[in-house]
Amino acid sequence: MSERGSSPKLSAVNPRAPSPVAYFGGFTLIELLVSVGLIALLAGLLLPSLLKSRQLANSTQCLAHLRQVGLASQLYWDDHGGRAFSERSIRTNNGWTYWFGWLADGSEGLRKFDPTLGPLWPYLQNHKIGICPALNRSATDFKSKAQGAGYGFGYNLLVGTRGESGIRISTLRAPSDLVVFADCAQVNDFQPPATPDKPMLEEFYYFDLTTPTIHFRHREKTQCWFADGHVAGEIPRANSLDTRLPLHILGLLQENQIRP
């Protein structure tokens, strides 16, 4: 008998009794397959929305850059008696001065490029403004023209004819109809690494009435800056597409949108 006030003794544990083991339930193979299937289904539902959001973001950024290029052009016009700049002007230092900068002669992708020598540089002071995020420079079918990125936009060749003085903006019949800048690119099948059997996409710097260099890369539209200062998305002219690269939509704008 235990003494008054002491705790009763516990019986000894049976040393032969099995130790208690914690049990954690796991997924069966069927449950794992169902889970993987549900995840794949949700990913498939979300992917189009994510892609659309990314395209919208690229389009918004492109418009912002295009507006700044257009504003710089208006400032240039004001400082030069209302006359537009030429698409290509002087030859110097083994290269040409274009509206977007100086581009050296040489092999594709290795040519030197200097944006500070272009007529718009004093008003922009930022080369990244000329880059369109929707132009995928890392694609396997893309060919660079210069060291580093050049320009993703093209200039209306009829506004600033190569080697000549640009037109006077005051002579435009309908500034709200005339596209001055637009998303541009070109199919190249004649300069390595491109070949006739392996055409490639490259950036391009002007558009006109006959050359399909307008790039409709924003959900089958191209971003345009018009001579009156507004921006808008435009679709290609009927029967104007270059079919050598089916994954890219390159063509022409309407004639009244190009001719001053």
What Å distances lie between residue 232 and 33, 65, 134, 175, 177, CA to CA? 48, 13, 16, 14, 11
Q: Give the distance from CA 12 to its chain's centroid.
A: 78
- Range of the structural domain that residue 45 is part of: 29-257
β-strands 88-91, 95-98: how paired?
Answer: antiparallel
Q: Residue 89: in which H helix or E strand, if any?
A: strand 88-91
Residue partners of 31: CB distance under 8 A and separation at least 6 = none
What pLDDT is stored for residue 60 in this prediction?
A: 78
pLDDT < 50 positions in the chain: 1-3, 10-11
- Asked whether residue 8 is assigned to any structural domain, the reply reads no
Is 36 part of a structural domain of the chain?
yes
Number of domains in the chain: 1
Distance CA 85, CA 165 (A): 7
Give start and end residues of each alpha helix (H) in the chain. 29-79, 121-124
Check residue 174 and give its pLDDT: 95
Note whether residue 159 is domain-resident. Answer: yes
Domain-located, residue 22 = no
Total-model pTM: 0.80
What's the pLDDT at 3? 47
CA distance 30 to 172: 71
Does a structural domain hold residue 10? Answer: no
Judge residue 221's burial from the number of C-beta atoms within 10 Å of its C-beta, 0-12 exposed, 13-18 middle, 19 or more buried: middle
Q: What is the structure's pLDDT at 47?
A: 57
Nearest by Cα to 226 from 166, 174, 189: 174
The answer as to whether 121 is a domain residue is yes
pLDDT, residue 11, reads: 47
Residue 249 resides in a domain: yes
Contacts 24+ apart (CB under 8 A), 101-104: 101/127, 101/150, 101/151, 103/145, 103/146, 103/150, 104/146
Residue 67: predicted pLDDT: 94
| 14 part of a folded domain | no
DSSP 214-259: EE-TTTS-EEEEETTS-EEEEPPPTT----SSTTS-EE---GGGT-
224-252 as b/e, with b when 16 or more CB fall inside 10 Å? bbbbeeebebbebbeeebbeebeebbbbb
